[in-house]
A and B are shown apart, each in its own frame.
Chain A
Amino acid sequence: MSKVLITGIGIISALGPSARENHTALRKGICGISLPDYLHSRYAEIFPAGEIKITTETLKSRLNITDNSVTRTTVLAAHAFEEALDDAGLSREQLTSPNTALIGATTVGGMCLTDELYRDANDKGMNSPFLDSYDCSSVFLYLHKRYKMNGLANTVNTACSSSANAIMYGARLIRLGMVTKAIVGGADSLSKFTINGFNALHILSPEICRPFDSNRQGLNLGEGAAFLVLEKEEDARNKKVYAEVKGYCNTSDAFHSTSLSDDGEGPYAAMMGALVSGQLQASDINLINAHGTATENNDEVETRAMRRVFGEPPVFTSTKSNIGHTLGASGAIEAVYSVFNIINQEVYPSLHFTDIDKNIGLSPATTYGKLPIKHVMSNSFGFGGNCTSLIFSES
């Protein structure tokens, strides 16, 4: 089976609208979380979030998108998609080949337009231009059409692990020889819909989130998008290669719709399965980009499952302390961050951690440092018990 290599990356998050800006901000330990300026919600004054401080209109004009049915989620996706394409240097012919797949993920899709959807669905006036833009697939159907792609296209939604599964689907298509390239990623934007949903679940933190800290009060939402260009090894000869998608595993916790089982059966099985799929030992992993949402339940269960897999876990961080929880985009964003870890052989500080939680007994890395990194594990666990672990390796 062919190796699956990462040859291009693109990202937009609260740390900036490019890979370079995200990398610089991670190195400096910058936090992009603040009270949102553009989100129309009464909670915008209460809950900080990882908002991208660029309006949808500005982003649209930068990308020359004039179509008035395009939503913020789609614009964020297009932004990251174009950067990844340029970075991988894909020709028009390669992009439009039937052997190049597009696998995307999102949870909110076009429902970021909460008020517009309410009006359309309840016949409260004129039809908006968004009738065909509310579902999740609208984001990736738009990209597929805009870039005149002809390969397989898919949209995945497994809540907070969505884009980790998009990466896995694309990597498997390549490994099994069904396509030669796959552009994989995810996007989600802040919305009245999600902030009200997470508030109803009482897991939003009124302070900047503190993953793994004993005084953590919950998560901050974020928005963003990231794409990775995956190519089979034979296609990537003489190209710049960032890393390899080495292992992956998807499992179900089969416990509860919004919280993880005490012993973290799903997370444990996902991490173990990713090691098996990558033919690695636990001791091979140098760094874990944890799911680390900063909810009481996740951080405690995730670390417990990490202990079951690793004994004494390797260095771990949560980049949600920089950008908040970007939901369907988080798996792809954290994949890009894992690439940074590998190509620069460095660890970025997990922010806002001060006190060890007695129930966890572990501390994430809190300072910047150089570290020999061959293999990074990235965890994504979603509502409904959807757990996915990915392993990215030096190529």
Chain B
Amino acid sequence: MFYIHQTSCISPQQTFYNTAIDDLETPVNNRLHAVEPAYNDMPKNSLRRMGKTARIGIGAAMPLIKQVEGFNGIIIGTGNGGMEDSVIFLKEIIEYNEGLLTPGHFVQSTANALASQLSLASLNRGYNITHVHRGLAFEMAAIDTAMLLRENARNCYLLGGVDEISSYNYKLECLDGWYKKEDISSGGFYSSNTTGTVAGEGAVMLLVNNDKYNAVAKVVNISTLHTIVAMKMQQHLQQFLEQHINTNIDLLLSGENGDSRLLAYYANAENLLKNDIAVARFKHMCGEYPTSSAFALWLACKLISGVPLPAHMLKKGDSKTTYSNILIYNCHKGVQHSFMLVSKTE
């Protein structure tokens, strides 16, 4: 599909300035908040006006924007982007009884605010789009990018997946039963037998093209599925694996998140793979959010390029010094499933 050349990540772990993922940051009040950098290269005035999605998204993209001479378009996936500003704006609407309002929060409330501000920050007039398909928003952005690279073989694109924990969204999803009621910051994330998980957020930015030379990793295939039926998910994965029968998958990055309702799907994925394939988990690092698979893809790039797999990630099997073919399986709210195969470039 495409080659990843540069990566940048702002997450609840130490992932931005350098990668120190052995030391684990743990959730506070069942939330994993992003560790934000100082944003020294962003103008203070615009920083103040930005919502968090835009701030961490642009913050993560800045090093890539500065490093390359240019790219041909910006493709963003976000599930909750704009939500915080939307609810702030509607709070103003209700509380001032539709009085005279300033448009700031309304302008920031559109999901495309981040992609738009990235185009300003990089003066990029190319393709610009925002995919908002909830738990598959990043995958849809990645598939879009793969299509662009088939249409324009020599181009290079900025691909990102960004979400924030907005206090409002957190409240809504709490009411809807997606976060744990008991405090699990002390551990036991995966062994709790209760429903719900912990909230997370993060921004991953990738520079991708068709050029194998010097690439960090190759995204070989991405497949998505909507179903609540575990058997259908299993069949889909089986077909996916048959397409890659000659690829020796050596690690499953599982999106398991401690929600007992989703365990069956993740167990399916483990059981379909050969017994000696190691299984590692990542949601205790980034929390649950719609584009968390972008964080998994960033992790896969790091593991493929030789960053040792931290012991806290390993669920099954032995850790190796490097990995060549990583399968990422993620399930969002028991409906949206994604499968991404990431390989080392020869």
Contacts and interface: CB of A to CB of B under 8 A. Distances in A.
Contacts of B86: 111, 193
A21 interface: no
Interface in A82-118: 107, 111, 114-115, 117-118
B335 A141 contact: yes
Interface string B291-317: 000000000000000000000000000
Range, interface on chain A: 35 or more
A41 B132 contact: no
B119 to A, nearest CB: 4
Contacts of B74: 252
Interface stretch (B5-13, B61-69, B101-109, B245-253): B101-109
B15 interface: no
Contacts of B111: 136, 157
A253 B125 contact: yes
Contacts of B126: 251-252
A250 B90 contact: no
Contact of B127 (A118, A200, A251): A251
Q: Which of B116, B226, B335 has the most CB of A within 10 A?
A: B116
A120 B125 contact: no
A196 B116 contact: no
Interface string A191-207: 01100110111000000
A144 interface: yes
Given A252-B125, A385-B116, A43 B98 contact: yes
Given A121-B171, A131-B172, A253-B125, A176 B150 contact: yes
Contacts of B136: 153-154
Q: Which of B115, B124, B132, B140 has the most CB of A within 10 A?
A: B132
A252 B130 contact: no
Nearest to B80: A135
Contacts of B131: 154-157
B176 A131 contact: yes
Given A252-B126, A383-B107, A169 B226 contact: no
Interface string B78-104: 011001001101110110011011110
A270 B172 CA distance: 38
Contact of B144 (A122, A149, A169, A193): A169
Contacts of B103: 197, 200-201, 258
A145 interface: yes
Interface in A144-167: 144-145, 149-150, 152-159, 165
Contact of B123 (A149, A156, A254): A254
B324 interface: no
Contacts of B110: 107, 157, 159, 383-384
A56 to B, nearest CB: 19
A153 B133 contact: yes
Contacts of A132: 176
A111 B111 CA distance: 13
Contact of B132 (A114, A153, A157): A157
B107 A257 contact: yes
B264 to A, nearest CB: 19
Interface residues of B, number: 58
B77 to A, nearest CB: 10
B151 interface: yes
Q: Which of A42, A123, A156, A159 has the most CB of B within 10 A?
A: A156
B325 interface: no
A162 to B, nearest CB: 9
Given A152-B224, A385-B128, A135 B90 contact: no
Q: Which of A149, A155, A251, A258 has the most CB of B within 10 A?
A: A155
B113 interface: yes
Q: Which of A132, A250, A252, A386 has the most CB of B within 10 A?
A: A252
B112 A382 contact: yes
A153 B128 contact: no
A137 interface: yes
Contacts of B123: 254
B104 to A, nearest CB: 8
Interface in B10-44: none
Nearest to A117: B90
B106 A200 contact: yes
A212 interface: no
B147 A120 contact: no
Contact of A176 (B87, B147, B226): B147
A334 interface: no
Q: Which of A121, A127, A250 has the most CB of B within 10 A?
A: A121
Nearest to B88: A121
Nearest to B111: A157
Contact of A266 (B87, B101, B125, B140): B125
Nearest to B133: A155
Contacts of B83: 135
A156 B107 CA distance: 17
Contacts of B128: 158, 250-252, 384-386
Contacts of B241: none
A70 interface: no
B307 to A, nearest CB: 32
A149 B224 CA distance: 13
Contacts of A348: none
B132 A251 contact: no
A196 B101 CA distance: 8
Nearest to A384: B116
B127 A158 contact: no
Contacts of B150: 176
B93 A193 contact: yes
A135 B87 contact: no
Contact of A258 (B107, B109, B173): B107
A156 B176 contact: no
A172 interface: yes
6 contacts: A114-B94, A141-B226, A200-B106, A253-B119, A254-B119, A386-B115
Given A157-B112, A201-B106, 13 more contacts: A111-B90, A114-B93, A117-B90, A118-B90, A118-B91, A121-B171, A123-B171, A158-B112, A158-B129, A192-B98, A200-B103, A254-B125, A386-B129
Interface of B: 74, 79-80, 83, 86-87, 89-91, 93-94, 97-98, 100-103, 106-107, 109-113, 115-117, 119-120, 123-134, 136-137, 140, 143-144, 147, 150-151, 168, 171-173, 175-176, 224, 226, 335
